[in-house]
């Protein structure tokens, strides 16, 4: 199986599974507890149907939209995801370059493998930074100030990770950061010699954005979960978020909003957007899916905020359903990480091309010339 043979999510997943050691693969693939919410994130799209119109003389549809102050060429972008160099040595650089080619957002995690400055130097495309609020306020301030100097377009504060979710697959596979070769995991690493070679011959694993602020940036003894529990502020509140919004003073979203009440409050503290997200089903198992909540949030605040649907996206039709239900754009994580693990920058470009083509083709089939025509009349929920 080669990259050219990858047509959908499952194809990229299968190829990544062949190339990545089991602990690394399952860190992407897994969710919290029984993974009920992980599964629901995608299944929820099947509870409604698209309603096309015919003979509308679509021609070539316009699928561009504007988020975080930037016009992007497709209503889908890369979610912020941590430690991308574990999946490919080029990591965030590969993702940023691929996103720039499609004029869509690359999103950087606080826990990225490359620094804010390194990514700013390799990509002039749309860039979003995902901020985790730390107990040490100087770390938070430093990240915001560096993003401003590097001309990032927008920022989002992740608000659903006050403590790490219970990701049992990581316990079973022995996932650690940096990776450790234990008796349980050794065979899996030995069977992926290309990954092992790349890991030991490329840049040393580190959390590049925080390595100069805390020793945990280069030495995480057990896992990323330990870092979250030690470093993130579990007492984070609305005032903390408002402080960051004012300090940033550019387009800002809260990532992890799942209720109408929180969406309304996001407006009150100055957010320009929200990312409706449950962290890919990796935090609170048994919670609602983002798509389940989208309609209610859109009905309440859709005219006041940009709404980004984050979670469960596997197909272009999922993007269309989200947009018809009120989203401004969508973001996705697992699918592009599998493509990164499967083929580096070329893999990310392949998945973005696949999704771009699917969205375009399905807009024609829907009879919609632009995203404004893809409105709530184009979707019916099953009872």
- In contact, 161 and 130? CB cutoff 8 Å: no
CA distance 71 to 30: 33
3-state helix, strand, coil in the chain (%, to 5): 50, 15, 40
Contacts of residue 290, Cβ cutoff 8 Å, sequence gap at least 6: 41, 258, 276, 277, 278, 309, 310, 311, 312
* pLDDT tens digits for range 2-60: 999 999 999 999 999 999 999 899 999 999 999 999 999 999 999 999 999 999 889 99
CA distance 355 to 76: 8
**Average pLDDT of span 332-351:** 97
Q: How confident is the model at residue 224 (pLDDT cuts 50, 70, 90)?
A: low
From the candidates 26, 134, 171, 279, which is the catalytic residue?
279
**Residue 218, pLDDT above cutoff 70:** no
Within a 13 Å sphere around the CA of 16, how many CA atoms are in the beta-carbon half? 28
Instruction: Please tell me whether the peptide bond between 35 and the residue prior to it is cis, using omega within 30 degrees of 0.
Output: no
In order of start, what are the domains of the chain with their CATH numbers?
A: 3-381 (3.20.20.70)
- In contact, 133 and 121? CB cutoff 8 Å: no
Of 51, 150, 89, 76, whose CA–CA distance to 359 is shortest? 76
Whole-angstrom CA distances from 285 to 46, 166, 278, 282, 314 are: 20, 9, 9, 7, 20
* pLDDT tens digits for range 127-171: 999 999 888 889 999 999 999 999 999 999 999 877 778 888 888
Is 279 one of the catalytic residues?
yes
CA distance 289 to 40: 6
* pLDDT tens digits for range 300-339: 999 999 999 999 999 999 999 999 999 999 999 999 999 9
Q: What is the mean pLDDT of the chain?
A: 91
Residue found under tokens 């700013």: 120
Query: What is the percentage of the chain residues whose pLDDT exceeds 70?
Result: 94
């Amino acid at each position: 199986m080669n990259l050219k043979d990858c047509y959908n999510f499952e194809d990229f997943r299968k190829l990544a599974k062949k190339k990545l050691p089991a602990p690394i693969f399952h860190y992407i693939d897994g969710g919290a507890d029984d993974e009920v919410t992980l599964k629901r994130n995608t299944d929820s799209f099947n509870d409604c149907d698209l309603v096309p119109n015919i003979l509308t003389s679509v021609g070539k549809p316009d699928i561009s939209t504007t988020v975080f102050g930037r016009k992007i060429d497709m209503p889908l972008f890369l979610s912020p995801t941590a430690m991308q160099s574990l999946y490919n040595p080029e990591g965030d650089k590969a993702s940023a370059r691929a996103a720039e080619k499609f004029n869509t957002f690359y999103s950087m995690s606080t826990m990225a493998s490359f620094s804010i400055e390194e990514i700013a130097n390799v990509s002039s495309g749309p860039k979003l930074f995902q901020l985790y609020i730390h107990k040490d306020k100087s770390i938070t301030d430093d990240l915001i100030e560096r993003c401003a100097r590097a001309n990032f377009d927008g920022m989002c504060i992740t608000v659903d990770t006050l403590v790490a979710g219970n990701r049992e697959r990581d316990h079973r596979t022995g996932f650690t950061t940096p990776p450790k070769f234990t008796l349980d995991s050794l065979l899996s690493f030995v069977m992926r010699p290309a990954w092992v070679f790349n890991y030991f011959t490329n840049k040393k694993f580190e959390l590049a954005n925080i390595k100069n602020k805390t020793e945990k940036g280069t030495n995480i003894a057990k896992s990323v979960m330990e870092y979250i529990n030690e470093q993130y502020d579990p007492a984070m509140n609305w005032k903390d978020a408002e402080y960051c919004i004012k300090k940033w003073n550019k387009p800002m979203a809260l990532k992890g909003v799942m209720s109408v009440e929180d969406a309304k409050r996001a407006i009150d503290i100055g957010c320009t957007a929200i990312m409706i997200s449950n962290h890919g089903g990796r935090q609170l198992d048994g919670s609602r899916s983002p798509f389940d909540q989208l309609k209610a949030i859109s009905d309440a605040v859709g005219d006041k905020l940009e709404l980004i649907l984050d979670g469960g996206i596997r197909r272009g039709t999922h993007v269309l359903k989200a947009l018809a239900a009120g989203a401004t754009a969508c973001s996705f994580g697992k699918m592009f990480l599998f493509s990164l693990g499967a083929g580096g920058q070329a893999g990310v470009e392949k998945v973005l091309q696949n999704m771009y083509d699917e969205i375009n083709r399905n807009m024609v089939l829907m009879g919609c010339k632009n995203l404004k025509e893809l409105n709530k009349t184009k979707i019916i929920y099953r009872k």
